[in-house]
Structure 1
Amino acid sequence: MPVQAFCRFFRSLVVASCTLAALLPPIGDAWAASVQAKRDSDFLNSIGVNSAICQRGEILDKTIECVRYLGVRWIRSGIEGNPPLDKLIYLHQQTGVRYSWGLGSGGTDIKKLLITGEQLAKAGALLAFEGPNEPNNWGITYQGQEGGRNLSWLPVAKLQRDLYQAVKKDPLLKHYPVWSISENGAETDNVGLQFLTIPPGANTLMPAGTRYADFANVHNYIYHPNAPGLADNKTWNAADPTSACKVDGLYVEYGLTWAHHYPGYTESQLLSLPRVTTETGALIGGAITEEVHALNLLSMYLDQFKRGWSYTAVYLLRDRVDETGNQRFGFYRPDYTPRKAAVYLHNLTTILADQGVLHDPGRLAYAIPNEPATVHDMLLQKSNGTFDLVVWDEQIEGTSLVSVQFEKTVPTAKIYDPTVGTNPIQTLTNVRNLPLTLSDHPVIIEISH
């Protein structure tokens, strides 16, 4: 075993001994509220990427290969650049991947979006519709009026309103969700894009009751001028839906807009607001090594789903070769060699892979007493009833010793580390207390009954 792999294996091994306190089960009513599992498949379905698929230097056969390897379930795309639908449908047929289908940067052709969306829907390849991309950077002209950027955003608001109405009036498409525009926090005038539906008394330029979207849409990149460097809980904080988030997150788009501070939802409302991320990621360079990049993306997908984001797309599948400044975001280099991020995500999705259908997720009584602030956990379940308890740490230095304690003895527990591989690093039997040494990545405890 290579030295690096051995070191990582050692860091994530289950500790053979623990203190007497860790051996004792939680007291009182700690077991009264067992944990409701989420479907493995729902988490896997949340994992997406941005990709040009077969344009901008990308090769369709290579995209198919990459999508299969990563295990991603959806791609952010749209009518910008007129992508060939037959090739997109072929990609879906080969991999099962679906598409969020958007107007793109500066696009306004709702009719074209729906016509092409119908073709994707008939092929089973459509996930959702998306409004215009970042009108603060790419203005639009709609119904003869310019809008976005530093102009009035009324044309943007009318475009998004009309898109929503057109989708919901279409007999075939009406059941597909509509995602909002991105970077609506930049609106120059209060047109109400900080709401999915403008509530009474909002005092916006568009009338109360105007419906824009079913899901909020955010570009919460992990690193931001307000949070530029390495830090504990880096991706956990980027996924925070409240004002505690220091990056370009949900709060500054839908709570209090970042450009002119127009009020939207309260912080308590933001906690349950339906939401997606259509761009996030990290640029490799300086302190952001390929290892840090890989660990960030691994924990980011987990954090996003844990904190209520239904879908998350990383920018980017493969580094851009037709523009400057975006050369080191990708899971893959320009020559399609995989970075560590690709390997780690492949391992995670392989470990959690589930082809069946779980109708009613079950519950499991477990606890992690005195869980450190950088340690997080999420209970998933496969269609065969197996639980996958994911426990991850987000500290940049040192380790955390925790103990996962079960109310009832677990017959078999297999421990996986996606930074090591897809096979279990340890198999235990008759487990009641499971000590773990964690650092900067997840482990998966597969629990069979």
Structure 2
Amino acid sequence: MKFVTLVAMVLLFFSADKSSPIKPVKATSTNEFLNSIGVNSAISARGEKLDKTIEAIKYTGIRWIRSGYEGGVSIDDYKTVHNATGVKYSYGLMSGGTDIARLLKDARVLANMGALLAFEGNNEPNNWAINYKGKKSGKNESWLGVAQLQNNLYKAVKADPLLKKYPVWNLTEGGAQTDNTGLQYLTIPAGANTVMPAGTQYADYATCHNYFSHPSHPGLYDNQTWNAADPGPACKVDGLYGNYGKTWAHNFEGYTEEQLADLPKVTTETGVTIQGDFSEEKQARLYINLYLSQFKRKWSYTAVYLLRDRSDEDGNQSFGFYQKDYTPRKAAVYLHNLTTILADKGTVSKAGSLAYAIHNKPETVHDLLLQNSNGKFQLVIWDEKAAGTDEVQIRFTKKHAVVNVYDPTVSASAQKMLNNCSAVMLTLNDHPLVVEL
């Protein structure tokens, strides 16, 4: 089999460069990474069709769907999709929702069928205000009602014998709060001087909509998804720091940079429309980079917006893995290839380590070492170079009998198979390669 594309050229090095130390790297379960891959979908509402949703989930290998009761989808449809695909759901109040009792009632059904992943608070109260206990809250009003609702959701979940084991994800865009209700914390610490008292619990996980292309930093640039996943102030978009470090609307102080680095966190929306610099090809490559960057930077779950383009909204509706008629975009094909290459549903009881070094590694090249339940290592290496290429050498401490190299932008089959290999050379630009040992 010939390997002819420049972006995925692999050359065997018989004489390894000794200038970079080779050290053991602890692997992460492949299954854990695959479980992090999610999407926003209305499942069988807003023009989406149940059978097509099932087909799309199966093809892409997506493991969870972000949803909520305000979408109008029946629990029977949730059950049908789960039974057909194994997909799980984060279930939330979504835009403007306040009915905690209803949310928990449906969640118990999902939990009993093994389909519940987590709870989520309100969707972007800065855009969709709520009416809670007779008062309007959110947008430019006081956010006290929004904060009280989130606290009451947390308490209700943790008081329920069946549901208390499931995590609560915070509401999104807490960085827009008009008054310092403390929504920049999971639990308000002593001395925070917030409107809600110290000890108020909101969530187990911080939640963001860190779209990697954002009005605050538009266009295509190096390390695009890597930067959006940055937990600190270096993030150029609407990320963790602006919602949990120092709030972007009124600069309320939250966690320190050191605390943000290890804060439990999830992303329930991110993506980009096809326009300008973002062609269908570029969107597809960024989407697979996105899942890798987020996971590497300790985001436990990431959902792209959307599975299928909206047919009930105006404007540029080209976020989706699928067009309105369910024609798969390249993003769907590339994700299918990546999840097929990595395919695994087993667990690793104790992840192993692989000794390797990446020589000549620029700041746009990143790596994630995974281990499949069959014991094989899958070293994923991706470049976030907006233009041009980088050549890097991967060196090992010993020769590996078989090394397969995959390029998900080409197919789910190995593009190069090497024998007795102790070093390889990869030419990278803007998407991942998988080196399987």
Report the 3-state secondary structure (helix = DSSP H, G, I; strand = E; otherwise coil) of the residue aligned with 1:280: coil
Distance 1:226 1:246 in 2: 7
Distance 2:142 2:173 in 1: 15
How far off its partner does 1:431 sit?
A: 1.2
Matching residue of 2:319? 329
Distance 1:73 1:108 in 2: 27
Matching residue of 2:116? 126
How far off its partner does 1:123 sit?
A: 0.6
Deviations 1:170-203 (A, max 9, x none): 0000000000000000000000000000001100
Q: Quick one: which amino acid aligns to residue 179 of structure 1?
A: W
Matching residue of 1:154? 144
Report the 3-state secondary structure (helix = DSSP H, G, I; strand = E; otherwise coil) of the residue aligned with 1:253: helix
Q: Quick one: which amino acid aligns to residue 132 of structure 1?
A: N
Distance 2:362 2:113 in 1: 46
Distance 1:355 1:100 in 2: 20
How far off its partner does 1:374 sit?
A: 0.6
Matching residue of 1:277? 267
Question: Which of 7, 12, 18 is residue 11 of structure 1 equivalent to?
Answer: 7
Matching residue of 2:253? 263
Deviations 1:301-328 (A, max 9, x none): 1000000100000000000000112411
Distance 1:81 1:53 in 2: 9
* Residue 380 in structure 1 maps to residue 370 in structure 2: yes
* Residue 59 in structure 1 maps to residue 52 in structure 2: no
Deviations 1:238-266 (A, max 9, x none): 11111000100000000000000000000
How far off its partner does 1:81 sit?
A: 3.0
* Residue 320 in structure 1 maps to residue 320 in structure 2: no
How far off its partner does 1:11 sit?
A: 2.5
Matching residue of 2:66? 76
Distance 2:61 2:155 in 1: 34
Matching residue of 1:174? 164
Distance 1:55 1:25 in 2: 58
Q: Quick one: which amino acid aligns to residue 237 of structure 1?
A: N
How far off its partner does 1:444 sit?
A: 0.2
Question: May I ask how many residue pairs the two structures share in their alignment?
Answer: 437
How far off its partner does 1:17 sit?
A: 5.6
Matching residue of 2:202? 212
Distance 1:178 1:316 in 2: 22
The two structures have a TM-score, normalised by structure 2, of 0.98
* Residue 345 in structure 1 maps to residue 341 in structure 2: no
How far off its partner does 1:10 sit?
A: 3.7
How far off its partner does 1:24 sit?
A: 2.4
* Residue 293 in structure 1 maps to residue 286 in structure 2: no
Whether the aligned pair in 2 keeps the contact of 1:137 and 1:149 (CA below 8 Å) is yes
Q: Quick one: which amino acid aligns to residue 25 of structure 1?
A: K
Whether the aligned pair in 2 keeps the contact of 1:25 and 1:407 (CA below 8 Å) is no
Distance 2:294 2:346 in 1: 23
Matching residue of 1:117? 107
Whether the aligned pair in 2 keeps the contact of 1:319 and 1:326 (CA below 8 Å) is no
Distance 1:345 1:266 in 2: 35
* Residue 423 in structure 1 maps to residue 410 in structure 2: no
Q: Quick one: which amino acid aligns to residue 229 of structure 1?
A: G
Deviations 1:318-376 (A, max 9, x none): 00000112411000000100000000000000000012221111111111123111100
Question: Which of 71, 88, 110 is residue 98 of structure 1 equivalent to?
Answer: 88
Q: Quick one: which amino acid aligns to residue 18 of structure 2?
A: P
How far off its partner does 1:6 sit?
A: 8.2
* Residue 40 in structure 1 maps to residue 50 in structure 2: no
* Residue 443 in structure 1 maps to residue 436 in structure 2: no
Whether the aligned pair in 1 keeps the contact of 2:352 and 2:371 (CA below 8 Å) is yes
Comparing 398-407 with 249-258, which one deviates more in the overlay? Answer: 398-407
Question: Which of 164, 170, 185 is residue 175 of structure 2 equivalent to?
Answer: 185
Distance 1:168 1:410 in 2: 49
Q: Quick one: which amino acid aligns to residue 216 of structure 2?
A: N
Distance 1:35 1:97 in 2: 31
Matching residue of 2:76? 86
Distance 1:187 1:133 in 2: 13
Report the 3-state secondary structure (helix = DSSP H, G, I; strand = E; otherwise coil) of the residue aligned with 1:93: helix
Report the 3-state secondary structure (helix = DSSP H, G, I; strand = E; otherwise coil) of the residue aligned with 1:402: strand
Matching residue of 2:227? 237
Q: Quick one: which amino acid aligns to residue 24 of structure 1?
A: D
Distance 2:3 2:430 in 1: 16
Distance 2:240 2:338 in 1: 27
Distance 1:419 1:382 in 2: 21
Q: Quick one: which amino acid aligns to residue 279 of structure 1?
A: E
Q: Quick one: which amino acid aligns to residue 355 of structure 1?
A: K
Whether the aligned pair in 2 keeps the contact of 1:280 and 1:314 (CA below 8 Å) is yes
Q: Quick one: which amino acid aligns to residue 389 of structure 2?
A: T
Report the 3-state secondary structure (helix = DSSP H, G, I; strand = E; otherwise coil) of the residue aligned with 1:432: strand
Matching residue of 1:196? 186
Matching residue of 2:216? 226
* Residue 391 in structure 1 maps to residue 384 in structure 2: no
Distance 1:11 1:391 in 2: 12
Could you list the runs of 5+ residues in structure 1 that have no partner in the other structure? none
Q: Quick one: which amino acid aligns to residue 216 of structure 1?
A: A
Moved over 6 A (4+): none
Whether the aligned pair in 2 keeps the contact of 1:15 and 1:437 (CA below 8 Å) is no
Q: Quick one: which amino acid aligns to residue 393 of structure 2?
A: S
Report the 3-state secondary structure (helix = DSSP H, G, I; strand = E; otherwise coil) of the residue aligned with 1:188: coil
Distance 1:409 1:200 in 2: 55
Distance 1:355 1:181 in 2: 30
Matching residue of 1:355? 345
Whether the aligned pair in 2 keeps the contact of 1:185 and 1:254 (CA below 8 Å) is yes
Report the 3-state secondary structure (helix = DSSP H, G, I; strand = E; otherwise coil) of the residue aligned with 2:70: coil
